[in-house]
Amino acid sequence: MSGLCGWLGYDATQEHALTRLSRMARHIGITSPAAHAVGTGAALITCGTTTLTHSCYENGLRVALFGHPHWRPETPASITAAASLATGVAAAYRQHGAQILAWLGGDFALAVLDEQRREALLAIDRTGTRSLTYRCDAQGLSFATHLGAVRASTTQTPSLDSQALYDYVYFHIIPTPATIYQGISRLLPGQYLHWRDGRPTLANYATTDYTEQHRGHAGENQARLFELLRNAVRDNLDSKAVGCFLSGGLDSSTVVGITSEITAAPVHCFSIGFAAEGYDEMEYARITARHFNAHHEAYYVTPDDVLAAIPLVAAHYDNPYGNASAVPSYYCAILARDHGMDLLLGGDGGDELFGGNSRYATQWQLSLYHRIPVALRRMILEPLLQPEQLRAGPLRKLRSYIHQANLPPYERMERYNLLQRIGHTSVFTPGFLASVDITHPLRHLQNLYESVDSAQPITRMMAMDMKLTLADNDLPKVTGMCDLAGIDVAFPFLTDDLVEFAAHLPLAAKLKATQLRPFYRQAMRGYLPDAVLQKSKHGFGLPFGVWIQTHPGLRAITCDTLNALKKRDIIDARFIDTLIDHHIPQHPAYYGVMAWVLMMLELWFQTQHSVN
């Protein structure tokens, strides 16, 4: 495990600061007090076992950066000339304060402590690749890249946040800025916290501009895309042994191709498969590997592997985390590590940047309804489809289409959410429901949607996905499992320049009617294999629902864990019984996801909440 943690408090002795920081440091894998940098009332520590860290102590300033930070091109030369990145940050902070964040690029978590002024600056990168959790209380400011370290900064266990528990079951993750605990929060992408004498101030130092600008010749834009991709990959090819995730999709295949261009030797790439119908893309991964003459290593995850990984995955995430594809990500990282890799390059972000999610095409189809004149819709079509008997008749699909089209864009796709389909009263106990706001998840989606400065609904959805789907879900999956496996990871698609380039592309370049990623596919024509370009979108899911019906060990741990969850008065015991006995046998892929989500919740209670 790697990361950073720190504390800035009031009139504390060195012994007090050291004791507090020692408790925190255990959660990022440090046990040696000699590694601690401690001053009166201030403490900060970094650990770089797998991911780079930069730290320094300059004239009363303690600086730590975790991740892969760098100076942006517009940074003044007087700052970039510093002996190290950390010393440059320290010098620039003295003169410019939080304005230095405009010059920092890459993925990072940053902490600056000013002991003399009792002041701290915390920030994370623009896409939220790295995370930073914090707590402000009467004793000071504690922060860390891991929630467990912040929780350990005090001897009192913080109270659970019931709303966060509800939102977890709804989203399968806890959306930022919340955590599972009251009073402990996380920074949002591109956000910083300035703390001075107990007064915290939150602000954004960067927001994505979605103004459409790249309306020039398509060939120029395509050339620019390749230039940015090559720069992004090249920046990660230092002295490390670098490999690539390879799922067989557009983005991981592109990263393999670009890396193979730049390196002198064939690139190493790593893939995970499943011996379950509908879940395996290994064929496309092999096609890409042959196409670019890459060294390809593949591993097929088995039910036994899943059984072995469940306690490891559950114990690693400080917040409940319900994305089952963490398991194949973990085994892929292990595969790469065992083949001598220090760093893996992932293709995450391409779908959100260039329009690759199928729900964007669905949104376009639903938007067609609003091209019909309002009078015709409201006076004829909608009244015609109101009768109760039409719910099961031949016009049922049309009625469903109109119902979805009339919903706000951020709410349309939620009809597939299990809590929307079954109903929250069937899933949760009455006592638990009395403590939460069931409208909160949709209001969270609405806030994300309305915070995007664009008139295009689909552009707003892509921006939402950058935060909720990518920063809150997919990136923690990959960074967390690479951390667990002991290997570093970077994401070429999420460099600042590439994100800005994609944001300025016209919407028509990302979605043309129901065609996904038209600009990107055209740019890659002749570069990626035709089979990869033409294949339909596929996920990286785990066939958990299928396997728990046939594998005794998986079924046993699922049943035992869910039965233990019944005792916590959160999930209705009748729902758990129905889920195991009826829902999963009938629809294993859909309801197996909920079984995993609830199992991870109970294991979080057992492995995280019970440990201080």
Instruction: Work out the pLDDT band at 394, boundaries 50, 70, 90.
Output: low
Closest listed residue to residue 429, CA positions, set 608, 160, 166, 161: 166
Q: What is the mean pLDDT of residues 251-269?
A: 94
Mean local confidence (pLDDT), 205-211: 93
Residue bearing tokens 């989203």? 171
Mean pLDDT of 556-576: 96
> With the C-alpha atoms ordered 306, 309, 311, 316, is the resulting torsion angle positive or negative?
negative
User: Could you report how far apart the first and last alpha carbons of the chain are, in Å?
Assistant: 17
Contact 494, 483 (CB under 8 A): no
pLDDT for the residue 465 = 96
Lowest-confidence pick of 197-206, 305-314, 334-343, 382-391: 382-391
Phi, psi (degrees; rounded to nearest 5) at 136: -110, 125
Q: According to the model, what pLDDT value does residue 277 have?
A: 67
Residues 279-286: contacts with CB within 8 Å, 24+ apart? Answer: 279/541, 279/542, 279/543, 279/546, 281/247, 281/248, 281/249, 281/538, 282/248, 283/248, 284/247, 284/248, 284/249, 284/253, 284/531, 284/532, 284/535, 285/246, 285/247, 285/248, 286/248
The predicted model gives 244-268 an average pLDDT of: 94
| CA–CA dist 36, 17 (Å, integer) | 10
pLDDT at 370 over 80: yes
Average the pLDDT over each of 538-547, 574-583, 585-594 and give the range with the smallest value.
538-547
**What global pTM score does this model have?**
0.93
Q: What is the pLDDT of residues 90-125, one digit of tens each?
A: 999 999 999 999 999 999 999 999 888 889 999 999
The two structure tokens encoding residue 583: 């829902």
C-alpha 561/C-alpha 606 separation (Å) is 10
164-173, 232-241, 336-345: least confident range = 232-241
Is residue 36 very low, low, confident or very high in pLDDT (cuts 50, 70, 90)?
very low
Give CA–CA dist 137/146, Å, rounded. Answer: 18
Burial state string for 581-595 with b = 16 or more CB within 10 A and e = fewer than 16: eebbeeebeebbbbb
Maximum Cα interatomic distance, the chain, rounded to a whole number of Å: 77
User: Helix H segments across 235-302?
Assistant: 250-262, 282-291
pLDDT at 67 over 60: yes
Q: What is the pLDDT confidence band of residue 539, given thresholds at 50, 70 and 90? A: low
pLDDT at 171: 97
Tell me: pLDDT of 214 over 70.
no
Q: To 10 degrees, the CA torsion angle through 63, 65, 66, 68?
A: -160
The pLDDT assigned to 35 comes to 41
148: Cβ contacts below 8 Å, ≥ 6 apart: 27, 318, 608
195 touches 113 (CB < 8 A): no
DSSP string, 490-526: E-GGGSHHHHHHHHHS-HHHHEETTEE-HHHHHHHBT
Per-residue pLDDT averaged across 605-609, rounded? 87
pLDDT value at residue 30: 66
What's the pLDDT at 32? Answer: 54
- What's the Cα-to-Cα distance from 368 to each of 17, 248, 361, rounded to whole Å? 61, 33, 11
pLDDT at 540: 60
| Selection from 65-79, 144-158, 333-347 with the highest mean pLDDT | 333-347
Whether 292 contacts 268, CB under 8 Å: no
Contacts of residue 79, defined as CB under 8 A and 6 or more positions apart, other chains included, come to 71, 88, 91, 92, 100, 103
Section 254-283 average pLDDT: 88
208: left (phi over 0), alpha (psi -120 to 50) or beta: beta
pLDDT band at 38 (very low <50, low <70, confident <90, very high): very low
Distances (CA, A) of 475 to 176, 209, 469, 483, 494: 13, 22, 9, 12, 11
Helix or strand or coil: residue 58?
Answer: strand
Query: Omega of the bond prior to 177 within 30 degrees of 0, cis?
Result: yes
Cα-Cα-Cα-Cα torsion 123, 95, 78, 121, nearest 10 degrees, comes to -10
How many residues are recorded in the chain?
612
> What ranges make up the beta strands (E) of 140-198?
140-144, 185-186, 191-196
Please write the tens of the pLDDT for every residue from 176-202.
999 999 999 999 999 999 998 888 999
- Res. 274 pLDDT band, cuts 50 70 90: confident
pLDDT interval class at 37 (50, 70, 90): very low
| Burial of residue 245 (number of CB atoms within 10 Å: 0-12, 13-18, 19+) | buried
Cα–Cα distance measured from residue 329 to residue 296, given in angstroms and rounded to the nearest whole number: 16
Residue 31: pLDDT band with limits 50, 70, 90: low
As a whole-number percent, the residues of the chain with pLDDT over 70 amount to: 92
* Strand 133-137 versus strand 140-144 pairing type: antiparallel
**pLDDT score at 522:** 95
Residue indicated by tokens 């079984």 = 595
The predicted pLDDT at position 197 comes to 81
**Of 598, 606, 604, 554, residue with least CA distance to 578:** 598
Q: What's the whole-number mean pLDDT along residues 589-600?
A: 94
The candidate with the shortest Cα–Cα distance to 147, out of 5, 323, 45, is: 5
- Residues whose CB falls within 8 Å of the CB of residue 462, separated by 6 or more in sequence, listed in order: 352, 353, 355, 360, 510
Predicted confidence band of residue 238 (pLDDT cuts 50, 70, 90): confident
Q: By the 8 A CB rule, do 60 and 114 touch?
A: yes
**DSSP for residue 378:** I
pLDDT for 34: 36
Taking the C-alpha atoms of residue 252 and residue 487, their distance in angstroms, rounded to an integer, is: 18
Q: Which of 204-218, 440-454, 464-478 has the lowest mean pLDDT?
A: 204-218
Distances 445 to 211, 356, 361 between C-alpha atoms, Å = 22, 20, 19
Asked if pLDDT for residue 361 goes beyond 80, the answer is yes
Q: What whole-number distance in Å separates Cα of residue 45 and Cα of residue 27?
A: 12
Tell me what the pLDDT averaged over the chain comes to.
Answer: 89
